[in-house]
Chain A
């Protein structure tokens, strides 16, 4: 009997080791969505579905569900995205900057300022404050490698040129910021593309697939301009944009260079100029 128990113990221990090893071999992802908010902004009824589709896409390729965090509505608060070095209540290292891949899906808006432009994104809960401001309050890179900002105006070319995104990163880990020049749609169809993006971009296409899947240049009044920003030496940005994935990171050292990828002459339906090249 004791021998059986010992054998069972060994099997369980081996299973635990095996599972732990598998889980830890995969990076972590946290998903933040604000279908509802207490901040007086319109609800976004497709956000929860779209976030779930992104999660489904990750797990469809063996990304362990245990490695994926899911925060919706009221639980999404400013402290999760702000850095202690910039804001007194900042706890990003426990949340958005604690994982390899971070998706935020909600409202956002860009402000054209005389010096460095600002980008605000809206929280679900009112604790701390209702908005998080780039670059004044955000500093990613302690752990985060890829940030996917599925909001309006989250990666505006004018803001990039003004230096907004230079001041939101630190260290060598943070490599890719994906977002939109102009407004983004809150539609179920974007959820299906989020599924495919998460499924297809784990080992390659972290930037290029984003641009391909989420850009709509014609069709009805859908004009959505997806953009991607890569922080890496000039000799490596293309490799990261095309060949690296959500689960395949580059460890290159940051030397101050960044590259903003865009589809030329994409004209967003609203809130942005045509991307002339």
Chain B
């Protein structure tokens, strides 16, 4: 059985042949239902990885497979969330959640006639991240943390098999960030969804992930791979245990090496 997300010896160049190499000889395998974190120094091609795995970019060399088939167009089974919540200010939070359903089949052709059913689903999802009853508000009436929760909901509303997160908590304060770690942790536990989290926060990576990949400086490739053998369900308390701190230290050593 091949992995759910499989990048094999992938190289990618921006700006055609002779342009800068973003990633070179990159291989990452993520199993179905696994939570993978990718850490690395800034500019190591983490975002390129996101684009390759979702079919927004195609590799210059090498092979990208998702769900067993070669990626040759946008994958449509992925939800994405970024550091900026990018909610549409002219739509209410609820309508923002419904946006992916207006794009992706089979919902696209159903949503007009079955609106009520989808609204119920969106409201349930909002409630599951602690945003009960906030659907009628506009995004700009919500706090930064709440907007990021809504953005996560938007990434999940079409029940994707793959969730791609690109530094989703980078712009939040430390307390809100830890709260949202738990939100993601719970979503992953309940939905058994495959998650790829790109981050520069090592504690975040270790707390959430089953496996952490450390990438080198540009052109990016995998320097080290670390299985996080902490028991689930994990509580925030785990981040203060010696074993957790050891893993973070170990990863940090790899990053320091990568920056040289």
A and B from one complex: no
Interface residues of A, Cβ cutoff 8 Å to B:
none
